[in-house]
Amino acid sequence: MVSELREPTYLVLTALADGPLHGYAIIGEVSKITKGQVTLRAGSLYGTLDRLVDEGLVCATGEEVVEGRLRRYYTLTECGTAALSAHATRMVSVSTEALRRLNVSPRFA
């Protein structure tokens, strides 16, 4: 069951859109995407990843050990790509409409 994407979910899926990433890289990518406005913490990140793996939107693709530290890589599944694409399209549509309305209704600007 895949419900409407919530912000952390949307950000993690967007971070993974360019290719597989490990936990720390996802945190860094989310910070970059949001221009430093959102910093995911480890507990929240793994809570979100657990749910995304459970929903079949993300899967683990491999592991490596760097300087004695385990890195597990995650990537979008086909279902995850479709969900992200659908949500992003909807967001663009709503944002475009909001901007259009702001232009024709300057009293709300």
Partner 1 sequence: MTTLETHYKWLVRLYPTAYREQRGDEILSTLLESTDSERTWPSVGDTVDLVGHALRLRLGVGEHQPLGRLFVIVGPCQLVMASLMSVIAVVFGEWSPFSPWPWVPPGHLGPFFTAGPIAYFAWILAGISLLLDRPRLTRRLVGLSIVLTAALVPIGHLFALGRPAMFYLLFLVALGIPYVAVPNQGLVWRATRWSQKALLATPFLPAAAIALGTARLGAGGSGPGDFFYRYALGAVASWITWIVVAAIVVAMIAVIAGRRLLGATIALLCVPWMALWMGNHFSSYVSPRDAMAGFVLTGILLLILAKFAMTVRRSALEQAT
Identify the residue among 2, 33, 59, 79 touching partner 1 (CB under 8 A). Answer: 2
Nearest approach, Cβ of residue 9 and partner 1 (Å) = 8
Cα 44 to Cα 8, 30, 77, 96, distances in angstroms: 9, 13, 21, 31
Confirm or reject binding of residue 53 to partner 1 (CB under 8 A). Answer: yes
Q: Is residue 46 within the footprint of partner 1 (CB under 8 A)?
A: yes
Regarding 7 and contact with partner 1 (CB under 8 A), the answer is yes
- Alpha carbon distance 90, 39 (integer Å): 24
End-to-end CA distance of the chain: 39
Q: Which stretch binds partner 1 (CB under 8 A): 13-21, 42-50, 96-104?
A: 42-50
